[in-house]
Amino acid sequence: MSQVIIVCEHYSAELENLSLTARYNDLEVRFFPGRCGMPPIDWPELRDSLDDNLENKTLHVISSGCIANLPEKDQRIFQQYNYRLSQCLHTVVNPDLADYYVKQGYYLVTPGWLRRWREILAEWGFNRDTAQSFFKDTSSAVLLLDTGIDDKALANLKAFSSYINLPSESVNVGLDYLELLLNNTVLKSHLEDSNSCKQEVAASNKKDLADFVMTLDLLNSLARVRTEEEVIRNIKDMFTMLFAPKEVVFTAVDDQRFSPGKTVERINTGSFSILVTGTEEPLGTIEVKDLAFPEHRERYINTAEKIINICGLAIENARHYQQIKDISDTDGLTGLANRRKLEEHLGKEWRRMLRSSNHLTLMMVDIDYFKNYNDFYGHLAGDDCLKKVASVLKEFCRRPGDLAARFGGEEFTLVFPDTEPEGAFHLAETLRKAVENLQIRHEDSRAGEYVTVSIGVISRVPDAKSSPPEIISEADTKLYQAKEEGRNTCVI
């Protein structure tokens, strides 16, 4: 049975870039106008406008509130993982990550949406004032999920964020997640077609069909895995279940054994190795060692070749997830953790020290007379100064639980678990001297001829009556005391 993917025109460039119709000769792609649910398009009306020849075709409709009266049987893409995806953005980025961004106050957009943002706001009945009011009430910033197919996306993002008077950021999500999602959807449909005709399947093919059912379930699970380590572990488990080898080994970026154009090496009668590739380059190799049933090796290789591309996509998707998560936790100027990451990390270390009854040290660090520095040398020099000071702070965070974060402006926060008061004060003094030893000239400072810092330090054993916000407040009080005592000093 032929298949039809029906998707909003905002994703037309992404679908065309994936060239799915060239990969699957029974697949068509249709696009509908992007209204973003204001008002929603009535499904019977949309179906009639698309084509009167959709009978006896399997429909995969990507919709999340933008189509009214859409039968559940046609919402296949949004139900294939046993939970319903709540918005169309979940097709280009992991739903957990998208929801995480929304909770942080971001309004999420795609390149396709940004191409039409003026037209869309007009369709919604917004002028500049009402648009600014609407977005300010619902969001604190705009975040572009950049699929990488529109070279005007960043310019459109800048124009849109300026129009609604909100800051903007961009993260590169690529097309891996979308490709993985759609490939699995098409393969699942093929499987269902095979099952409907299974009485006609010869007994010799039933084992292949059973393998395919299990493989598809395992591949679908890869799309939900977040870290590269977890993905590779799941891929190894999948190969073990499918082929019953003694061992499965993944080696990163190891394509030296393969001649150009070759993706499989038959090592001996009971083993083989297959190349895992991403969208642009090799990612590694999977070696399947000592098959329990070596007589089936060629059939196993055939199965492995069918699924290896999706394995590569899953690895790349995990890498993109981590890159995006790292960006969301990092201050863009200094490269240190941002305020959100600090609060998350401090809460975790607070609970850990509470369980172990060990000291937790927190330092608030402020660059002395930084406003004067900015006014005297200019903001570019000020940014450079912040980055140099941040690099010194980062050098002092060497253990897994240590963290340096930009708290805001010229103020930084450092977290040191398992650090008692005496060691904390010595560490703070060493840090203070290290900043001064940078010898960044500061001619408008009353604390010295170079850039200096004041540091407030709190070191305590957490208890059930206290909380992370309290230790931040107390460290800030000590920082204020350090400033009152003449700056370029530490108070604990």
Q: Enumerate the active-site residues.
A: 410
Closest CA to 451 of 462, 459, 461, 439: 439
Closest CA to 388 of 451, 443, 447, 449: 451
Closest CA to 169 of 135, 145, 193: 145
- Residue 214 to residues 238, 319, 353, Cα–Cα distance (Å): 9, 25, 44
Closest CA to 429 of 338, 365, 339, 342: 365
- DSSP H stretches of helix in 170-250: 176-196, 206-222, 228-243
Q: Which residues touch 353 (CB under 8 Å, ≥6 apart)?
A: 359, 360, 417, 418, 461, 462
Residue 452 and residue 436 in contact, taking contact as beta carbons nearer than 8 Å: yes
- DSSP H stretches of helix in 223-338: 228-243, 297-328
Encoded amino acid at 344, one letter? E
Closest CA to 425 of 384, 372, 478, 386: 478
Q: Which residues touch 479 (CB under 8 Å, ≥6 apart)?
A: 364, 365, 366, 454, 455, 456, 491
Residue 120 and residue 8 in contact, taking contact as beta carbons nearer than 8 Å: no
Q: Which residues pair with 168 in a beta bridge?
A: 142
- Residue 415 to residues 166, 418, 423, 460, 490, Cα–Cα distance (Å): 31, 10, 13, 12, 16
- Describe the strand order of the beta sheet including 58-61 as a list of residue ranges: 27-32, 3-8, 58-61
Q: Which residues pair with 58 in a beta bridge?
A: 3
Closest CA to 187 of 211, 161, 224, 212: 212
Place of tokens 């009353």: 446
Residue 267 and residue 279 in contact, taking contact as beta carbons nearer than 8 Å: no
Contacts 24+ apart (CB under 8 A), 337-340: 337/403, 337/404, 337/405, 337/406, 338/405, 338/406, 339/405, 339/406, 339/407, 339/408, 340/104
Other beta carbons within 10 Å of 412: 28
**Alpha carbon 111 to its chain's center:** 17
- Residue 40 to residues 34, 36, 479, Cα–Cα distance (Å): 9, 7, 55
Residue 142 and residue 168 in contact, taking contact as beta carbons nearer than 8 Å: yes
